[in-house]
Every structure is written in C-alpha cells, then in structure tokens.
C-alpha cells in the first residue's frame, strides 16, 4: 500500500512544520509543503495528492482557486487559517475549517477521519 501524499500550503514555516509533524505522527505519509499559491500549483502539476491542508492567506494571495481545483479533482482538503470562516466562498464551505490557533488533536482527527479516509489508500 503506498503512502498517502499530503500537501500543506502554509506560509508560516513553524505552522507548516507543526502540521507536518502532526500528520506524520498519525500516518505514514509523504508531505509536500508550499508557502505560496504559485508553489502549490507547481506541486500539483508535478504529482497528485490524497489530501491537503490549506491556509487561506499565503504569501501571494488566497488559496480558494487551489481549493476549487482540489475539489474538482475529488481531493479532500481542510482549511487551517486565521481568517474567518465567512470569508470562504459558499461553494467551499463544506470543507473542514480549523481556526488558528488550532488544537493539534483536531488536525490529527480531521486528517484521519475526514481526509485520509476519503483520499485514496487509508494510512
């Protein structure tokens, strides 16, 4: 069984490392981290992902177009953001939304219960 591929789009390196650590403690996963929409698009062009965690506001804009792309591909994702949930376009509001500061256990639960189970092979 192949390892799940998880994309983390987060411009704060400490938060990105924290989310990566939480996911890796919960599952055997391959992680890619992008700090901008541009980097995330490049990563998505190079490979497919089984799940993603998206900050809303990153270095070069908002991640809503990335979220739409992931949704169109059937890739489960969650927002992890200091933005308000009301900022999320209505079409994307079914995605899990974890406000910052987040509870690490909530990141793990969201990954295991809502993302990993839907995004390809289970960990």
Non-local (6+) Cβ contacts of 61 within 8 A are 37
What is the number of helices (H) and of strands (E) in the chain?
Answer: 4, 7
**Contact 112/92 with Cβ under 8 angstroms?**
no
In a domain, 122, yes or no: no
Q: Where are the alpha helices (DSSP H) in 10-113?
A: 13-26, 37-46, 64-73, 104-109
Locate 76 and state its tokens: 């489960």
Domain at 85, CATH number: 3.40.50.2300
Q: Supply the pLDDT for residue 118.
A: 59
In a domain, 121, yes or no: no
Number of structural domains (the chain) is 1
In a domain, 123, yes or no: no
The per-residue pLDDT string of the chain (123 residues; one tens digit each, 9 = 90 and over) reads 678 999 999 999 999 999 999 999 999 999 999 999 999 999 999 999 999 999 999 999 999 999 999 999 999 999 999 999 999 999 999 999 999 999 999 999 999 998 986 544 433
User: What residue has token string 């999320």?
Assistant: 88
Domain of 28, in residue numbers: 4-115
Q: Supply the pLDDT for residue 122.
A: 35
Q: What is the pTM of this model?
A: 0.93
Strand partners, 57: 62
In a domain, 51, yes or no: yes
**Contact 7/58 with Cβ under 8 angstroms?**
no
In a domain, 120, yes or no: no
């Amino acid at each position: 069984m192949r390892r799940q591929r998880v994309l983390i789009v987060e411009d704060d390196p400490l938060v990105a490392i924290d989310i990566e650590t939480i996911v890796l403690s919960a599952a055997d996963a391959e992680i890619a981290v992008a700090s901008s929409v541009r980097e995330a698009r490049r990563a998505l062009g190079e490979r497919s992902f089984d799940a993603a965690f998206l900050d809303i506001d990153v270095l070069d804009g908002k991640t809503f177009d990335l979220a739409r792309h992931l949704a169109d591909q059937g890739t489960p994702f969650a927002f992890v953001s200091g933005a308000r949930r009301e900022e999320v376009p209505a079409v994307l509001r079914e995605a899990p939304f974890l406000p910052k500061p987040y509870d690490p256990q909530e990141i793990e639960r969201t990954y295991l219960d809502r993302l990993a189970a839907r995004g390809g092979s289970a960990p």
